[in-house]
Amino acid sequence: MRADEQGTLRALQSTREIIDNLISEHRGRIANTAGDSILAEFPSVVDAV
């Protein structure tokens, strides 16, 4: 991050958009976030994987 803070933040934001879309597509919801981690809940095991 130190070498390219803006690039790192853009990459994290881009990745987060992809993850958010995938969670929604599989009927999940984000229960919590901390830093670069995400805790997501899904209605079934099948949706989670």
**Nearest CA among 23, 41, 21, 17 for reference residue 31:** 41
HEC states along the chain?
CCCCHHHHHHHHHHHHHHHHHHHHHCCCEEEEEECCEEEEECCCHHHHC
Q: How many domains does the chain have?
A: 1
Along the 49 residues of the chain, how does pLDDT read in single tens digits? Answer: 678 999 999 999 999 999 999 999 999 999 999 988 999 999 999 999 9
> For position 1, what pLDDT does the model report?
64
